[in-house]
Structure 1
Amino acid sequence: MSDTRQEILDATAALLERAGAEQVSIRDVCQAAGVTAPTVYHHFGDKKDLLEAVAAEGFRRYLSAKHSRKPSADPLADLHRGWTDHVGFGLEHPAFYRLMYGTPNAEQRPSAREGHRVLVGILDRLAETGRLRLPPEQAATMIHTAAVGTTLSLLSLSEGPRTEGLADRMRDAVFGAVLRQNEPSENDGAAAADLARALLATLSARRTEELTPGERGILLELLRKLAS
């Protein structure tokens, strides 16, 4: 990325933080960056393309902070930290955030999909420990939707009783919907064995025309292992 292009991006981002996208003109950007209008158009085409590039820059900064933190030994702690970081970034950089998540097709940007991939990775680790109620992709969609909606609401509402503790309450509500309340105990293995034995008994009492003989044999073998 050329220095001039980055200077234009930085100047635009600074203007947006103060005035908002509707109030910022190409003339304002030129004055702030010390360039001419043809230079801006050369690098970005028009204002729409410039704002799209600023959104991409916002994602770059956001993901850079995420990737700078290595996963901890506790995926649940990482999930909590991810929520806090997401909401915190939006409140600290409202103009960036509105461009990143408050525009049509925002979720289709490659950087947005990368953020989703990071979240799914954390949830995969939680699923491996038996602490997830839903498949990781479904849980990620719920958590991300709640985080974005909460952050945009906090940006649009004035501070007061309506917003006090909102981010924490929303986090607790959505985490409660996708996570098991307690870590798996030794009794979970016994419960799984009981369920396997019950299913074995059911299969022995009925025909399974939905399954081929090979599929039925594989299923029975797996259930016997779980039952033992």
Structure 2
Amino acid sequence: MATDDPRERIIQAGMKLLADGGPAAMTTRAVSAAAGVHAPTIYRLFGDKDQLLDAVVGHGMAAYLDSKVAQAPSEDPVEDLRRGWDLHIEFGLENPAIYAAIYGSPRPDARRSSAERRADEILAGIVHRVAEAGRLAVPEARAAQLVHAAGRGAVFSLIGLPEAERDAGLSTLAREAVIEAITTDGDRADDAGHGAPVAAAVTLRAGLDGLAELTDAERRLMGEWLDRIAHARS
């Protein structure tokens, strides 16, 4: 370890153990031995093993998340959604142990890692921009959940295969299927409700907080109406 900072040594040791053997290998004893610190130091700096794991995966995911945030939004939020998807797949394939530690054991909201929560916030922001542009055909929460579920499924499907057998086109097909399901060009109104009425309701809902002409009570009431339209027809 090329640092005198015990916290950094612990995180780096945890990263290596996680990559080599998964979360089960990242015991307090193994981390303290690899980092050259006493076990009480880990408890003092991180609290417990779950908090240590959170810090380790958060550190491992930080560069990926920063790259998503650093991307300047383009004029086409749907293209930004595509780029975000591709970055997500790339991170999972290059860091399978960290990815599995973050997404492999679904947990209630209160127990999700900080890395997972931050990634969700970034995705929600991109989806919100799609809605503001009048391109979203389903409610924002549903769109984000579908992108998340399909992206996570694609990553786990691919990392479960030997590298030589991975079909890179699988991610592209899944991505385009999801985008087709949640976006609209605003001109079509098919039987599934993915047309102008839903897109209009979702778009207006996305900008509702900025309508200074309405009172708080009026915004809440309009929000309920718009949500009812979007959910009933999507």
> TM-score by structure 1 length?
0.69
Residue 93 of structure 1, CA deviation: 1.1
Residue of structure 1 aligned with 2:59, choices 46, 50, 57: 57
The alpha-carbon distance between structure 1 residues 5 and 104, as it changes in their structure 2 partners (threshold 3 A), is: same
- Does the CA contact (< 8 Å) of 1:100 and 1:106 recur in 2? no
Residue of structure 2 aligned with 1:116, choices 116, 120, 126: 120
- Does the CA contact (< 8 Å) of 2:136 and 2:182 recur in 1? yes
Alignment of 1:37-48 (within 5 A): 37-48=39-50
The alpha-carbon distance between structure 1 residues 162 and 54, as it changes in their structure 2 partners (threshold 3 A), is: closer
SS in 2 for 1:165: helix
Deviations 1:18-48 (A, max 9, x none): 2222234333322322222232233234433
Any stretches of 5+ residues in structure 1 without a counterpart?
A: 186-190, 193-214, 216-228
- 1:8: which partner in 2? 10
The alpha-carbon distance between structure 1 residues 152 and 35, as it changes in their structure 2 partners (threshold 3 A), is: same
- Does the CA contact (< 8 Å) of 1:78 and 1:122 recur in 2? yes
Which letter does structure 1 place at the counterpart of 2:16? A
SS in 1 for 2:33: helix
- Does the CA contact (< 8 Å) of 1:59 and 1:100 recur in 2? no
Alignment of 1:16-165 (within 5 A): 16-105=18-107, 108-159=112-163, 163-165=167-169
Deviations 1:34-88 (A, max 9, x none): 2222322332344333223223333433322221222122212211100000111
- Does the CA contact (< 8 Å) of 2:32 and 2:38 recur in 1? yes
The alpha-carbon distance between structure 1 residues 104 and 124, as it changes in their structure 2 partners (threshold 3 A), is: closer
- 1:174: which partner in 2? 178
The alpha-carbon distance between structure 1 residues 170 and 106, as it changes in their structure 2 partners (threshold 3 A), is: farther
SS in 2 for 1:105: coil
Residue 8 of structure 1, CA deviation: 0.6
- Does the CA contact (< 8 Å) of 1:129 and 1:184 recur in 2? no
SS in 1 for 2:136: coil
Percent identical? 42
The alpha-carbon distance between structure 1 residues 153 and 184, as it changes in their structure 2 partners (threshold 3 A), is: same
Aligned residues: 187
Residue 110 of structure 1, CA deviation: 4.3
> TM-score by structure 2 length?
0.68
- Does the CA contact (< 8 Å) of 2:54 and 2:113 recur in 1? no
